[in-house]
């Protein structure tokens, strides 16, 4: 059997570990794996691919980024604006499916987030067998308890907060850290708790900056000389709007800038010196954590098993410490967002973290 493999959307630590898992498993079954470059774009003329042999994937498990390349723009972008979806034109689908057929590829493993899986579903609906692997640092895909890449991104946030803490203490400052996550607050929530932030602002809980300022003033009265505030890029002030850095002609809007706004307002309201750091793509770069390496490997292995069992149209899913699968349709139906009343937010509040609500 010959199978195809591609990555779509933003890169994320662990993509190469999936490739390693897919190629290792497929090779042991006597199959060939064709890796398409730069996501679905690699399926178009001139078809851009490489044959992935185990010798070529030796040692890539621990590498960040992706040896195949990826894109979150281009002809197959299914996500537009702030949460909109578009269908892929039929002639493009026909061309891609013909090229797959010409190469003798019988099934395609699509590794990606919400957008990539939405496009993968269109291939399935057009009659080409696909299986999906969930990937995103944002951890915002429904139907899987965790995506690989999230732990690595969160670790960067925690490391950054540890560093900000020592300088914040020295200067008695408020340090605001803006983190990624798009419309989900998982990175901010886990990173903030793990890094000891005193306030965490997430998209799921609209915030009142005065409440955050009051909590910092209150901390000061109890003898704390500094404060760490984590702000998710998609956090929204109560009654306000998303802060958008850019609205490109193609693809989704780029979020960014809310950290600076919050820092300026906190400085005014608390009278304390405040600085803002925007972590940006540092969260996506570098080697995956051990947890992400193992999760991504298991996902890659499971994707090949699904093809072996001809269970197409399904996405690998992590539930209760077990790697199983769900339909891709079910997976893209709903985003996985933080529950504002849930146990994790409750735990953070119990140790005094302010959410601005």
Options 255, 262, 306, 345; binder of ligand F6P; rule CB under 6 A: 255
Beta strands in the chain (DSSP E): 2-7, 32-36, 49-51, 79-80, 84-85, 107-112, 130-134, 174-179, 199-201, 227-232, 244-246, 254-255, 274-278, 314-319, 322-327
Give least dist CB 218 to ligand F6P, A. Answer: 31
Q: Is 182 among the residues that bind ligand F6P (CB under 6 A)?
A: yes
Q: Is 180 among the residues that bind ligand F6P (CB under 6 A)?
A: yes
Task: Encode 135-153: b = buried (16+ Cβ within 10 Å), e = exposed.
Answer: bbbbbbbbbbebbbbbbbb
Give least dist CB 178 to ligand F6P, A. Answer: 11
Q: Are residues 96 and 273 in contact, defined by beta-carbon separation less than 8 angstroms?
A: no
Contact stretch for ligand F6P (CB under 6 A) within 28-36, 62-70, 177-185, 222-230: 177-185
Give least dist CB 204 to ligand F6P, A. Answer: 15
- String of contacts with ligand F6P for each residue 211-250, x by CB under 6 A: ----------------------x-----------------
Give least dist CB 217 to ligand F6P, A. Answer: 31
Q: Are residues 331 and 143 in contact, defined by beta-carbon separation less than 8 angstroms?
A: yes
Q: Is 42 among the residues that bind ligand F6P (CB under 6 A)?
A: no
Q: Is 258 among the residues that bind ligand F6P (CB under 6 A)?
A: no
Q: Out of 11, 114, 138, 151, which one is annotated catalytic?
A: 138
Catalytic residue check, 214:
no
Contact stretch for ligand F6P (CB under 6 A) within 86-94, 125-133, 179-187, 315-323: 179-187
Q: Which of 315, 306, 265, 331 is nearest to 110 (CA)?
A: 315
Do strands 314-319 and 322-327 pair parallel, antiparallel, or not at all (unpaired)? antiparallel
Q: Is 328 among the residues that bind ligand F6P (CB under 6 A)?
A: no
Q: Is 284 among the residues that bind ligand F6P (CB under 6 A)?
A: yes
Q: Are residues 183 and 283 in contact, defined by beta-carbon separation less than 8 angstroms?
A: no
Q: Which of 327, 332, 300, 325 is nearest to 3 (CA)?
A: 300
Q: Is 136 among the residues that bind ligand F6P (CB under 6 A)?
A: yes
Q: Which of 292, 291, 288, 22 is nearest to 131 (CA)?
A: 22
First CA to last CA across the chain, in angstroms? 55
- Nearer Cβ to ligand F6P, position 156 or 304? 156
Q: What is the rounded distance in angstroms from the CA atom of residue 217 to the CA atom of residue 98?
A: 64
With CB under 6 A as the rule, give the number of residues binding ligand F6P: 13
Q: How many CB atoms lie within 10 A of CB 250?
A: 11
- Nearer Cβ to ligand F6P, position 173 or 284? 284
Task: Encode 200-215: b = buried (16+ Cβ within 10 Å), e = exposed.
Answer: bbbbbbbbebeebbeb
- Nearer Cβ to ligand F6P, position 168 or 180? 180
Options 62, 87, 98, 254; binder of ligand F6P; rule CB under 6 A: 254
Q: Is 288 among the residues that bind ligand F6P (CB under 6 A)?
A: no
Q: Which of 344, 341, 346, 334 is nearest to 114 (CA)?
A: 334
Q: What is the rounded distance in angstroms from the CA atom of residue 111 to the CA atom of residue 136?
A: 10
Give least dist CB 247 to ligand F6P, A. Answer: 12
Q: Is 72 among the residues that bind ligand F6P (CB under 6 A)?
A: yes
Give least dist CB 85 to ligand F6P, A. Answer: 15
Q: What is the rounded distance in angstroms from the CA atom of residue 209 to the CA atom of residue 27?
A: 55
Q: Is 332 among the residues that bind ligand F6P (CB under 6 A)?
A: no
Give least dist CB 140 to ligand F6P, A. Answer: 8
Residues within the interface to ligand F6P (CB under 6 A): 10, 72, 113, 136-138, 180-182, 233, 254-255, 284
* Residues that are catalytic: 138
């Amino acid at each position: 059997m010959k199978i195809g493999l591609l990555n779509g959307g933003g890169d994320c630590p662990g993509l190469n570990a999936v490739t390693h898992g897919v190629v290792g498993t497929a090779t042991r079954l006597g199959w060939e794996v064709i890796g398409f470059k730069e996501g679905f774009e690699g399926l178009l003329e001139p078809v851009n691919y490489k044959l992935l042999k185990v010798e070529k994937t030796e040692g890539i498990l621990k590498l960040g980024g992706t040896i195949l390349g990826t894109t979150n723009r281009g002809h197959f972008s299914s996500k537009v604006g702030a949460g909109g979806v578009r269908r892929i034109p039929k002639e493009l689908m026909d061309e891609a499916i013909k090229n797959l057929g010409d190469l003798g590829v019988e099934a395609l493993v699509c590794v990606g987030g919400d957008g990539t899986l939405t496009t993968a579903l269109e291939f399935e609906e057009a009659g080409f067998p696909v299986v999906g692997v969930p990937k995103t640092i944002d951890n915002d895909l429904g139907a899987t308890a965790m995506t690989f890449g999230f732990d690595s991104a969160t670790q960067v946030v925690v490391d950054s907060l540890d560093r900000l803490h020592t300088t914040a203490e020295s200067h008695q400052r408020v340090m605001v850290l803006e983190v990624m996550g798009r419309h989900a607050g998982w990175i901010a929530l886990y990173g903030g708790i793990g890094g000891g932030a005193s306030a965490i602002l997430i998209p799921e809980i609209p915030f009142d900056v005065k409440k955050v300022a009051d909590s910092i003033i209150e901390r000061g009265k109890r003898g704390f000389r500094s404060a760490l505030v984590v702000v998710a890029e998609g956090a929204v002030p109560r009654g306000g709007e998303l802060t958008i850095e850019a609205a490109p002609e193609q693809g989704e809007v780029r979020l960014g800038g809310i950290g600076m706004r919050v820092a300026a307002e906190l400085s005014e309201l608390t009278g304390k010196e405040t600085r803002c750091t925007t972590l940006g793509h540092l969260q996506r770069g570098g080697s995956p954590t051990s947890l992400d390496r193992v999760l991504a490997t298991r996902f890659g292995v499971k994707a090949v098993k699904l093809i072996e069992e001809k269970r197409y149209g399904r996405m690998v899913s992590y539930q209760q410490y077990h790697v199983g699968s769900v339909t891709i349709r079910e997976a893209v139906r709903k985003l996985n967002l933080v529950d504002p009343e849930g146990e994790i937010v409750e735990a953070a509040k119990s140790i005094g973290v302010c959410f601005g609500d």
